Amino acid sequence: MKRSQSSDPLPASQESKFPDIVKLAALERQVFDFLGYQWAPILANFLHIIIVILGLFGTIQYRPRYIVVYAIWTAIWVTWNIFIICFYLEVGGLSKDSELLTFNISRHQSWWSENGPGCVRKEASMSGIKGLDSHSYVSVIGCALEYRYIEVMHSSFQILIALVGFVYACYVVSVFTEEEDSFDFIGGFDPFPLYHVNEKPTNLLFKQTYLPA
């Protein structure tokens, strides 16, 4: 279905600003999860970025189905971030010190656990302990805000964006649907012209006119 440029249902500012915020928030989350080697969030963020790009493509190319996929994904994304909040707040038997988010591959924690605001990282050698001469004990002191609360704020912000994104996606789909209905109503899908004149051949021109003598 082709649309003229004048039939663009959304202002350019609405098409660009909010999707940019969603992409930046997803990329920011991905960067800090990479720094902390949080493999489960990394995979979830990667999938989230793909769906966001798909939704943006659907908005630009007038593909409501892609936008519906994004709207459905926002519900999954909200659920995932609620789980992350419960994980760091240790709700329901979860423990922030477990290796659940790293798939038990490593003992890494959130990047913010050692690099939060005001945190000072100190290393103490363990040369006095047999078998641990090459290891060091790392302690973090002076943090203005505990890292789990930073992760909770990150997830809460993602939930807020997802809820706004769901409303935005529903709005865009409704606008596209209304435009398709109006486009169909005026004959946009009619293979014949709107005003079709069915001219029948006439034999009046072929009749001979007989005049009286």
Q: Which of 32, 47, 50 is nearest to 155 (CA)?
A: 32
The residue-averaged pLDDT of 21-48 equals 92
Q: pLDDT band at residue 7, thresholds of 50, 70 and 90?
A: very low
Spatial neighbors of 189 by CB under 8 A, at least 6 apart, are 1, 183
Q: Is the pLDDT of residue 202 over 50?
A: no
By the 8 A CB rule, do 120 and 83 touch?
Answer: no
49-65 as b/e: b if 16+ CB within 10 A: bebbbbbbebbeebebe
**pTM score of the predicted model:** 0.73
Question: Whole-angstrom Cα distance, residue 40 to residue 25?
Answer: 18
Question: Whole-angstrom Cα distance, residue 166 to residue 186?
Answer: 31
pLDDT digits 0-9 by tens, 99-115: 899 988 888 889 999 89
Spatial neighbors of 42 by CB under 8 A, at least 6 apart, are 30, 33, 34
Q: Which of 34, 54, 42 is nearest to 165 (CA)?
A: 54
